[in-house]
Structure 1
Amino acid sequence: MSGLRMRGLVVAVVAGVGATLTVAVAPAEAAGTPHIRAGQTVPVYSYENAVRESVWVHTTLDNDLDGVPDRVAVDIVRPREAADRRIKVPVILEASPYYSCCGRGNESELKQYDANGTITKQPLYYDNYFVPRGYAFVAADLAGTNRSTGCMDVGGREEVLSAKAVVDWLNGRGRATYADGTPAVATRWTNGRTGMIGKSWDGSVANGVAATGVEGLETIVPISAISSWYDYQRYNGVLRSEDYPEYLHRVVNGRPAGVCDPVVKQLDEGSDDATGNYNAYWAARDYRPNAHRVKASVFIAHGINDTNVTTTQFAQWWNRLNVPKKLWLPQQGHVDPFDIRRGEWVETLHKWFDRWLQGLRNGIEREPQVTIETAPGTWVDERTWPAAAARKTKVALGDGNGTTGTLGGRSGSGFRTWTDNPDLSEAAAVGTPGAAVPGRVAFLSGPLTQGVRISGTPAVSLRVQVDRPTTELTARLVDYGTATRVNYQARGEGITTLTTESCWGASTAADDACYRDTAENVVTSDHAIVTRGWQDAAHRVSLRFVTPLHPGRWYDVTVPLQATDQRIAAGHVLGLIVQASDNEYSTPQSTGATIRLDLRHSSLTLPLVGKLPTPGATAPAVTTAPSANRSAPQRFQPLLP
């Protein structure tokens, strides 16, 4: 959106956002801090007159090997009146590789500078909304991107420590300079209390910095973020896409040609496409083992149907955190909650930052911890996640009619044999569960007598014989039954961008606070994927090494599915679809195997609220029709905003 169209707009705030909260008066308010009234921050400072400056934070890193410590370019917008009154303000920090290559938000905004190189436009609304309320907004270019030096190492040490260096500088532990080389001292205007926010790659950086335990980082808000880069680029040994780290580096790289070639070579060799093993390269990009070091509070938002940054990323991170935390789970895919439930999101984010950065005792930590969208436009608040009532339930696989098996009841005898069909699409695999489809096997529950909820991480345990040293195994849980659902597989991943706008903060001629409104994209369909999962059979023992299979021997292979939280309505049927390789969500490395499945020693484990019915000997009839409103998923899904 052009700032010229908004030249006449100085301040525009959506009615109702930041409504007065009934809370105790904070000490800062008692001391006369202008931007704190009735227990919350309010917009009293001029956004148009804000201090806008750019500095370069010095690091101890040098992965571009030029003999000069790498520097991180940081663009700052902060309230001038607060500085004039010597009021030190907290910081909202977004560290991103996207500021010059790809843009931020639904409208792909880029940073813009004046002729002197001073920031004039920051992407998104964070500065527009929060700077008038007594915050500074800091946008840092990750190493090797935009105006920073060094080389982007895609989730690695350089990336995380370059962002951490900014937090250190904000807390007086680092050095920065202006473009002319004069010192830039952050402690003159900030109290060092920093919150990091960002979607996708940006939120992943926030996770990584929090895992260092850095002092001064008080909260993070990771949106659709990664907690393990191995799990992003591998599915339990299954390769997502060839040369993926190198591709991501090229997309965001801001350095001259050739400067970062040694780093690209390290990405290629370290990621080890040939084996799919979890190794030292991936361990350096796995933030979960250091979750115990996180001191910051954490507010996570993640789409339940995100097939880009899949849900294991938030679930495994969430379950390891032992800090104040909050969780939003909408039904969309890779979408910012600002574009799903805008007013509620901004209000909640405002309250969250007021609590953890301004120190206002507004009670948000005592509110329900989790907010979940259960159906289009229907939201519920809950005490925790997964659901407290969810029980780990083992569901037997039955022989059924010999073609379509059953879910539930006693373990069934018999076998299923199929040969991998790499060309089998997801739509074909799940579309006709009652028919024989080459390349997959299907199991159905009876029609549900009452609704059930799956809340947590399901898994499928398979006892198999394979005629090759390995095969990939893919499992899908399917809700068969007509309902109106969020259309996350369409363009927009569950939202439609409208022609109207709403404004969220103050504006200048160069940087307006107005964004096109959005609406949920919904579709009435007769089935929906609840969750998916993948496993390379040769990595069944460990992700760190390959253990080949021997033809004729039986092996137990567990296929973990992605975490989910979905309600299955009464009258619907729950289905399990198992196939081998999946050419839509991964790049198969082993295809063509014939697999024999022992039903008696195989099962589905569900984190279940409620109970599945006991099926009959014959699976219920289920018919499905493809939806014209859905598009087929793309195999290659780059980590872009």
Structure 2
Amino acid sequence: MPERARKPRIPWTTSLLAALAALMAALLAPPAAQAAAAGSKAPPESRPVYSYDRAVRETVWVDIKLDGDGDGRTDRVAADIIRPREAAERGRKVPVVMDASPYYSCCGRGNESQKKTYDAQGKPVQFPLYYDNYFVPRGYAVVLVDLAGTNRSDGCIDIGGRSDIQSAKAVIDWLNGRARGYSSRTGKHAVSAGWSTGAVGMIGKSYDGTVANGVAATGVKGLKTIVPIGAISSWYDYYFAKGAALYDGGPDGLANDIESPEAHGRCQAVQRKLVEGAPRNGDRTALWDERDYVKDAHKVRASVFAVHGMQDLNVRTKHFGQWWDALAANGVERKVWLSQTGHVDPFDYRRDTWVPTLHRWFDHYLLGYDNGIEREPMADVERAPDQWSTDRVWPPRGTAATTVRPAAGPQPGVGTLGTTPAPRGTTAEFTDDRTLGESDWSAHIDQSTPAKAGFTTAPLTRDLRLAGSSKVSLTVTPSTASAHLSAVLVDLGPATIRNYAASGEGILTLADRTCWGSGTTADTGCFKRTAADKQNVDYTVFSRGWADLGHYASASHGTPLTPGKPYTVTLDLAATDHVVPAGHRLALIVAGTDAGLIEPAATTPKLTVDLHRTSASLPLVGGKAAFERAVRSGGHGGRPAPATPRGLPVPSLTHRP
């Protein structure tokens, strides 16, 4: 349970500290000594026995052994540290919670965009987020690292490349005595981390969680666990979907936005490499291969607690799905939370459960407490706003890839979805309309419209659950030399969902605050409460995938298309866990440009889909038998769409991870 709501705290008084002295003397001993004294097993959780206001606050500049800015000396990154003073005074070493980020000065962290602050001597004062307030009193150090080229660090940001990853890895090496740290950015006075156990847990949302994924993929010793939240697993898949551009800019634009002002001049060579190595034609190059952490998942030693919003249209759940599958294949210990939000931290949609869960996770993997969290259900999934279910493993046992096939219906573009292949020669046609997207297609699923081809089941007689990643294989004939394709899965039926397309991406920020851990006047540990932003809808798009048809043969090299020639391409749809309830229909929609989510092709093609050679592979709980039971009925019986169907519009293409 959270600590009670309170006003921003001032430092603890001397009398209060004296009252706690006896308790602290006992608890400052190592866990084994505590257990021996108590004659019982190790305590189930760390306790807030250290003073926050007296904590050591310092900055160490760690040499990352790279010269990214080409100034003739290796770069140093700033690691701002807060750790319990009493532990240091008694010679007790502590583990580390680390968040490595490029955003501490440019953009801020968390729902309130907190930035680092410093006193007149440059000593850190405010540590963004709640990690310091909550975990330092419980016997952890918190280390917030400025990636190279940002805030107070040397070097250049390189958007997920070697410099980014080495910025954090070098700090882990320093915490384990394998790298050099200094008391200033340019001085020669070396500083050691003798206060650290060497055990590190990395955490962070978006770019920060992406760095955690990348560092884990190096296999660095000392990194015991990572908690990536809405994180990228492959930077190519952030900017492109099999050649189709997802954003109207590249990594050079992001680098320019987030690097420190003084880095603008010294990092032009790095910027040029980002431009030259990431062509906007969608080809996968060596630059993208370097920034693909999935291929190195076999090196991961750390446990992984992954968190992702299933309606995250910034860092799509394709990143979670492919990372999760690769980790599973290599036997990595894992846990997952999947919410109905967009790009949102669990602190801002399930705070009362999230913080105690994270606490127990770090206690187990960083302090070694046998609290049983690794034996609890692997997955928490949000089914409706603030309504959660759990699974012992994820995807659930009995989940199997099941092939479903589209077939022609009574009207052009209004077809059916089943398990029987369409007869040879059966086709569907649509013309790309770059002004329309998934909301328009779904709203008119039962109407013959020129911009999409839709296929639906009959109203289901049983619930049908999809858990994992889907694929759609299309054989299409274009009328022009270029074409972009989209495929979406839709739950057709009324529901109350989180309003993920709104500015809060599924949450409302309230005025009052709750406090987590201890605080000072400069860093209170108090944060605005949130509530679910709910929306009533008549359909829900729950998984998406896109591709450039010119990259049908390889993501590495796109080619112009020959009009009138058929091509086969597979679209990877984002991972999800969604239940289509009995009475609703499951729909597959195939179309061109998904407006607001991908960039259009250079031409506006008409596409003819060979339905006999088109199929979808869906991760169904219960497999093919579950699908056949759910669609069993006296006929197709598709319901007409509501007169004024309600869905959610999609956000714009402009995002920052």
TM range (shorter): over 0.9
SS of structure 1 residue aligned to 2:201:
strand
Distance 1:271 1:596 in 2: 31
Match of 2:181 among 176, 186, 203: 176
Q: CA deviation at 1:465?
A: 1.1
After TM superposition, list the pairs within 5 Å mapping 1:430-509 onto structure 2: 430-509=442-521
Q: Hey, what does 2:265 align to over in structure 1?
A: 258
Q: Does 1:278 align with 2:284?
A: yes
Q: 1:295 aligns with which of 281, 292, 301?
A: 301
- Whichever residue aligns with residue 640 of structure 2, its letter is A
Residue of 385, 390, 394 corresponding to 1:376: 385
1:413-441 Cα distance to aligned partner (Å, 9 max, x none) = 32112221111233222211111222111
Structure-2 separation of matches of 1:28 and 1:99:
39
Whether 2:592 is the aligned partner of 1:580: answer yes
Residue 346 (structure 1) aligned to one of 332, 351, 355:
355
Change in Cα spacing, 1:300 to 1:186, as seen in structure 2 (3 Å) is farther
In structure 2, the partner of 1:549 is 561
Measured after TM superposition, the shift of residue 590 of structure 1 is 3.2
Residue aligning to 1:411: 421
Kept in 1, the 8 Å contact 2:457–2:631? The answer is yes
Q: Secondary structure at the match of 1:428?
A: helix
C-alpha displacement of 1:619: 4.2
CA distance in 2, matches of 1:613, 1:174: 61
Q: Is the 8 A contact 1:419 1:438 kept in 2?
A: yes
Unaligned runs of 5+ in 2: 1-5, 17-29
- Which residue is equivalent to 1:6? 8
User: Partner of 1:196: helix, strand, or coil?
Assistant: strand
The alignment-based identity, stated in percent, is 47
Using structure 1 for the length normalisation, give the TM-score.
0.93
Say whether the 8 Å CA contact 1:472–1:591 is kept in structure 2.
Answer: no
Alpha-carbon displacement from aligned partner over 1:127-176 (angstroms, at most 9, x marks no partner):
00000111000001000000001000000011101111100001001111
Aligned counterpart, 2:111: 106
Report the residue type matching 1:126 in the other structure.
Y
Task: Report the residue type matching 1:482 in the other structure.
Answer: P
CA contact (8 A) 2:481 2:603 kept: no
1:358-405: per-residue Cα shift (whole Å, max 9, x none)? 111111111111111122222111122222222211112111113210
Question: Which residue of 326, 330, 334 maps to 2:343?
Answer: 334
Asked if 1:85 corresponds to 2:90, the answer is yes
Structure 1 residues 276 and 537 mapped into 2: Cα distance closer, same or farther (>3 Å)?
A: same
Cα distance in 1 for partners of 2:98, 2:656 equals 24
How many Å separate the matches in 2 of 1:483 and 1:448? 15
Alignment partner, residue 620 of structure 1 = 639
CA, structure 1 residues 184+367, in 2 after alignment: closer, same or farther (shift >3 Å)? Answer: farther
Report how many residues are paired. 620
Tell me which residue corresponds to 1:21. Answer: none
Q: Does 1:116 align with 2:121?
A: yes
The Cα shift of 1:230 comes to 0.5
Q: What RMSD, in angstroms, separates the aligned Cα atoms of the two structures?
A: 2.1
1:389-404 matched pairs, under 5 angstroms? 389-403=398-412, 404=414
Q: CA deviation at 1:350?
A: 0.4
* Conserved? CA contact 2:460–2:632, under 8 Å: no
Whole-Å Cα distance in 2 between the matches of residues 202 and 93 of structure 1? 10
Tell me the equivalent position of 1:633: 651
Which structure 1 residue ranges, 4+ long, deviate > 6 Å from structure 2? none
Of 217, 232, 241, the residue aligned with 2:223 is 217
Tell me, in whole angstroms, the C-alpha distance in 2 between the residues paired with 1:471 and 1:139. Answer: 44
Letter in 2 for 1:348: T
**Bigger helix fraction:** 2
Q: Which piece of structure 1 moves more, 94-103 or 521-530?
A: 521-530
Q: CA deviation at 1:584?
A: 0.9
Matched, 1:146 2:151: yes
Structure 2: distance between partners of 1:394 and 1:37: 50
SS class of match (2:149): coil
Q: 1:614 to 1:549 in 2, by over 3 A?
A: farther
Aligned to 1:159: 164
| Greater mean alpha carbon deviation, residues 551-560 or residues 450-459 | 551-560
Given that 1:400 and 1:618 are in contact with CA atoms closer than 8 Å, whether structure 2 keeps it comes out as no
CA contact (8 A) 2:201 2:362 kept: yes
Measure the CA separation in 2 of the matches of 1:605 and 1:577.
14
Output the CA distance in 2 between the equivalents of 1:384 and 1:186.
41
The CA distance in 1 between the partners of 2:551 and 2:200, in whole Å, is 41
Residues 218-264 of structure 1 show CA distances to partners (whole Å, capped at 9, x for unaligned) of 11111100110000111111112233211211121114232111111
Measure, in 2, the Cα distance between the counterparts of 1:317 and 1:10: 44
